[in-house]
Structure 1
Amino acid sequence: MMALVPYDRSSLPALSKLHDTSVEFHFANRRVRLTQDWNRLGVAAVVWDAAVVLCMYLELGQIELGGKAAIELGAGTGLAGIVAALLGARVTITDREPALDLLRTNVRDNIPPDQQGAAVVSELTWGEGLERFPAGGYDLVLGADIVYLEETFPALLRTLEHLSSARTAVLLACRIRYDRDRTFLAALRRSFAVEEVHYEAQRDIHIYRATKLQTRVEL
């Protein structure tokens, strides 16, 4: 779901950066400059802290990225997927259709010409059309601040289960804001082994790593 989140800009000056038309970071020894479009796409088109912390974690080298097949869910501006590609992964960067033009712009502007094939943009609405993506076909699944709408949780869980195999690392970066967020993690643990691998206290962002549980086949 994409929706504007109303607020009084004067009372929350820290959020005024969301209205900037671009934002700049330094990751993977490169300047990453992303276009934002809050006025048109709302929360889907700005960079949130979870994406920044996830990129910081990827730079730590705890996850092998070179030559790995990765997919980013609910990518928004595409920051995490772009950084994963710059660090050597082959990344499919996904979101719902209204966000795709912005995603393509950011990929084009930040992936060097000789690496353009490292990142492709694709439409993915969770739980729908999953047959277009290889079942268990990814080494890494990325999600930054995608655990926040309770009505999307069943579709998100189905999507994670489809994309993952026992060798897949699912990295979810999020704030734990409400009881429903813990409910999602509990539901995830029914099919995945889940551990917290990083916590950034200043931004209050947790990163969870989930690995799909193997099912025993009875002969």
Structure 2
Amino acid sequence: MSDNELDEKEPDFFNFSEDLVELPQIKQAGTAALDFDGLLSEELKLHEDLTNGCGGQLWPAGMVLSKYMLRKFGHGGLENKTIVEIGAGGGLVGLAVAKGCHGFQAPMYITDQVNMLELMKQNILKNDLTQLVQAKVYDWGEACPSDMPSQPDIILAADCVYFEPAFPLLEKTLVDLIGDNSVCYFCFKKRRRADMHFIKSIKKSFNVTLVDDDPDTPTYSKENISL
């Protein structure tokens, strides 16, 4: 489908208020225990630490995407699927999926820059997921690590739209990773007008649609979050 056709079909796509959104308050280092409103039978333990970058904190779109994936796939649907999370920070989304969904092809890879590597590894250990999840360094714009699936079945990306100079690198990474049979679950919070330039750009390369099966959409859309 062409970009023009998509625009005609969904003219109000991502139609947000132009008001700027404040960033959440920076947290002190600590460990959160999350069950995503009961979607996990055993809590996910996630250490937050901003010492090495803002990715070490829980961000709102990550919570939204985690709940969506658990609700959608908690009872099946990921059998034999390869999964890669990009811009994982501490690994929230990937670890939630690994803990609450079953049957995917192990290992799942959670990835970010080298400054997040130890935090990702720490959170894998905290949740006894070493047999299911591996942490990898994957810099946007660079080649996919050779020991990871180059075009996985599922790509997870939450709160990756926040730094405008990185938009071309993020787009290149998505182009590299998303194959003909891939699905990318991409959740972001619009904080500034420039964020929409990225969305408009990727619509030229991909068939981009809003999910239509999330009962939480009316709640998080009020916070300028889209999935």
How high is the TM-score relative to the length of structure 2? 0.76
Q: Displacement, 1:125?
A: 0.5
Change (3 A) 1:128 1:66: same
Name 1:15's counterpart in structure 2: 25
Distance in 2 (alpha carbons) for counterparts of 1:129 and 1:122: 13
Distance in 2 (alpha carbons) for counterparts of 1:187 and 1:54: 22
Deviates more, 1:61-70 or 1:177-186: 61-70
Aligned residue pairs, count:
189
Name 1:183's counterpart in structure 2: 197
Matches within 5 A, 1:1-219: 15=25, 18-26=27-35, 27-38=39-50, 40-61=51-72, 64-86=77-99, 87-88=101-102, 89=104, 90=106, 91-112=108-129, 116-130=130-144, 132=146, 133-136=148-151, 138-197=152-211, 198=214, 199=217, 200-201=220-221, 203-207=223-227
SS of residue in 1 equivalent to 2:89? coil
Q: Please say if residues 83 and 154 of structure 2, whose CA atoms lie closer than 8 Å, have aligned partners that are also in contact.
A: yes
Distance in 1 (alpha carbons) for counterparts of 2:48 and 2:189: 21
Change (3 A) 1:81 1:131: closer
Distance in 1 (alpha carbons) for counterparts of 2:135 and 2:78: 18
Q: Displacement, 1:20?
A: 4.1
How high is the TM-score relative to the length of structure 1? 0.79
- Higher RCO (C-alpha 8 Å, min separation 6): 2
SS of residue in 1 equivalent to 2:173? helix
SS of residue in 1 equivalent to 2:150? coil
Q: Please say if residues 82 and 111 of structure 1, whose CA atoms lie closer than 8 Å, have aligned partners that are also in contact.
A: no
Deviates more, 1:28-37 or 1:193-202: 193-202
SS of residue in 2 equivalent to 1:170? strand
RMSD: 2.0
Gapped regions of structure 1 (runs ≥ 5) = 1-11, 208-219
Deviations 1:170-208 (Å, cap 9, x if unpaired)? Answer: 11111122222111111111110001115324644211x
- Give the residue type in structure 2 aligned to 1:206: S
Q: Please say if residues 65 and 84 of structure 1, whose CA atoms lie closer than 8 Å, have aligned partners that are also in contact.
A: no
Q: Would you tell me which structure has more strand in proportion to its own residues?
A: 1
Identity %: 26
Gapped regions of structure 2 (runs ≥ 5) = 1-21
- Give the residue type in structure 2 aligned to 1:97: V
Deviations 1:109-144 (Å, cap 9, x if unpaired)? Answer: 1135xxx321111100011132524432x1110111
SS of residue in 2 equivalent to 1:179? coil
Distance in 1 (alpha carbons) for counterparts of 2:126 and 2:222: 30
Change (3 A) 1:28 1:65: farther
Distance in 2 (alpha carbons) for counterparts of 1:145 and 1:81: 13
